[in-house]
């Protein structure tokens, strides 16, 4: 495993890492707020909304993400909805992860004592003020560990985009491996994933610590 070879293929791997990271960030930025909204809708008293959202969550969690990617990129054009490869991936990932996040947030919302809503109510906070200032900050603290799990899954799930022909980190390693007939690129891919997950784990710890100031 020569240093030369490593430095030769590293740029292409880092190029793939760029796509992996951008998919990772934009998925989180889209799916976390969407997940919160869906979880609020799941607990709404308006039944039709509940049914629709339950169906959505069932669909997203009940089928493989790989399948969803294929449907978004190859299936939706049949009904006239055409995405570029990257947008298709982002669309599928955001919808999929929002469903998982919604279920996690729903559990978080349910664990908040009803007295917190009443406490806010008699102080005449509006429903949205109550959510924003009282409920969501407490929910966030509760859900951080479960969200963290999903975030780490997302780093690795992003490799599924090979199926619609996107060049992410894993694909870059695969290309080099089959071209040069050596496992070294895949070994490096593994190391890069480990580093990414290590950074995520560290950041999640930091967030957890930020919320440790109260019990």
User: Minimum Å distance from CB 108 to another protein?
Assistant: 13
Question: Rounded CA gap, 5 and 182, in Å?
Answer: 11
Would you count residue 75 as binding another protein (CB under 8 A)?
no
Contact status: 215 vs another protein (CB under 8 A): yes
**Based on CB atoms, which residue is closest to another protein, 87 or 118?**
118
What residues from 123 to 142 belong to the interface with another protein (CB under 8 A)? 123-126, 129, 133-134, 137-138, 141
Which residue in 78, 122, 181, 212 binds another protein (CB under 8 A)?
122
3-class SS of residue 190: helix
Q: How far is the CB of 186 from another protein (least distance, A)?
A: 45
Of residues 141 and 171, the one with the C-beta less far from another protein: 141
Q: Give whichever of 136 and 163 is closer to another protein, judged by the CB atom.
A: 136
Site for another protein in 150-189 (CB under 8 A): none
Token pair in block for residue 82? 């055409």
φ, ψ at 45 (rounded to 5°): -85, -5
* Minimal distance, residue 115 CB to another protein, in Å: 4
Q: Of the candidates 150, 147, 198, 193, which has an alpha carbon nearest to the alpha carbon of residue 168?
A: 193
CB of 124 to another protein, least distance (A): 5
- Spatial separation of the C-alpha atoms in residues 210 and 204, rounded to whole Å: 10
Rule CB under 8 A: which of 94-113 touch another protein? Answer: 113
Side-chain-side CA neighbours of 209 within 13 Å: the count stands at 6
Q: What is the DSSP string of 8-58?
A: HHHHHHHHHHHHHHHHHHHHHHHHHHHHHHHHHHHT-S-HHHHHHHHHHHH
* 118 is an interface residue for another protein by CB under 8 A: yes
Question: Which positions lie near another protein, rule CB under 8 A?
Answer: 113, 115-116, 118-126, 129, 133-134, 137-138, 141, 213-215
């Amino acid at each position: 495993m020569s240093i030369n070879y490593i430095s030769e293929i590293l740029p292409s791997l880092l190029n793939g890492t760029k796509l992996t990271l951008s998919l990772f960030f934009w998925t989180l930025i889209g799916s976390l707020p969407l997940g919160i909204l869906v979880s609020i809708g799941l607990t709404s008293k308006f039944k039709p909304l509940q049914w629709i959202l339950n169906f959505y969550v069932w669909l997203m969690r009940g089928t493989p993400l790989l399948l969803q990617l294929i449907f978004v990129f190859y299936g939706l054009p049949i009904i006239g909805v055409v995405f570029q490869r990257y947008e298709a991936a982002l669309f599928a990932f955001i919808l999929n992860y929002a469903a998982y996040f919604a279920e996690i947030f729903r559990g978080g919302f349910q664990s908040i004592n009803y007295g917190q809503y009443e406490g806010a109510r008699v102080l005449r906070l509006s429903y949205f003020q109550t959510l924003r200032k009282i409920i969501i900050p407490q929910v966030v603290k509760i859900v951080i560990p479960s969200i963290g799990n999903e975030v780490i899954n997302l780093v690795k799930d992003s490799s599924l985009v090979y199926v619609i022909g996107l060049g992410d980190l894993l694909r870059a390693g695969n290309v080099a491996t089959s071209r040069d007939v050596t496992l070294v690129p895949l070994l490096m891919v593994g190391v890069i994933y480990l580093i990414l997950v290590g950074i995520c784990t560290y950041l999640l710890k930091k967030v957890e610590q930020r919320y440790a100031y109260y019990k």
